[in-house]
Amino acid sequence: MNLSFFDQFSSPSMLGVPLILIALIFPALLLPAPDNRWITNRLSTLQLWFINLVTKQLMIPLDKKGHKWALILTSLMIFLLLINLLGLLPYTFTPTTQLSMNLALAFPLWLATLLTGLRNQPSISLGHLLPEGTPTPLIPALILIETTSLLIRPLALGVRLTANLTAGHLLIQLISTATVALFATMPMVSLLTLLVLFLLTILEVAVAMIQAYVFVLLLSLYLQENI
């Protein structure tokens, strides 16, 4: 019984071919096709307004040098947002519940921000490893601690996104299973659990959006440290 709760996190396959690629490509199909005109309909207007809002929020902590990353960060934000929200639909697979995928997104982008800092301002980037005014006996220990905290950043990004989405999906499945099981014997209790399930679903929609934003926001903060 316990294993069945985690079956939803296994990558689906058909004839031995993993279908995770379809789950990754499908969100792009929901976006309107580009057109020569700036605004074609209300959906395009809403899309442009949302992209503009997301870009402004992500560029707030960045200097002008970091605005070159606007396309990458905004695209990543919309990509994660669509995948997280589509994963809440019944009988769907959420790729962002896979730690391997989240690390594959976090590690290259984190490494790019780190290499950007080492190329543009190597002394300042290396200076972050040793706070100013550190006593001489503590220098080796602090360098080791700061280096560890620096290297653990991509792991923290991937684990945070995976853990939050996995916990939410498990809670939804547990409560929905309890609702169905209690309906025949205790219908009133089943209605109460159904209400809890409805509220939890609203919460998970908020968590899906917040986690996508936090993932990209932390990357932008790491970028700001290195430009």
Per-residue pLDDT reduced to its tens digit, 94-151: 888 888 889 999 999 999 998 988 888 877 777 777 777 777 787 788 888 888 888 8
Q: Would you place residue 7 in the very low, low, confident or very high pLDDT band (cuts 50, 70, 90)? A: low
What range does the domain containing 135 cover?
A: 16-30+61-225
Quote the number of domains for the chain.
1
pTM for this entry: 0.82
- Give the residue with greater pLDDT, 160 vs 64: 160
User: Is 134 a domain residue?
Assistant: yes
User: Is 132 a domain residue?
Assistant: yes
Res 1 pLDDT > 60? no
User: Is 69 a domain residue?
Assistant: yes
User: Is 54 a domain residue?
Assistant: no
User: Is 43 a domain residue?
Assistant: no
Q: What is the pLDDT of residue 41?
A: 72
User: Is 67 a domain residue?
Assistant: yes
User: Is 38 a domain residue?
Assistant: no
User: Is 86 a domain residue?
Assistant: yes
Which two tokens mark 91? 């009988």
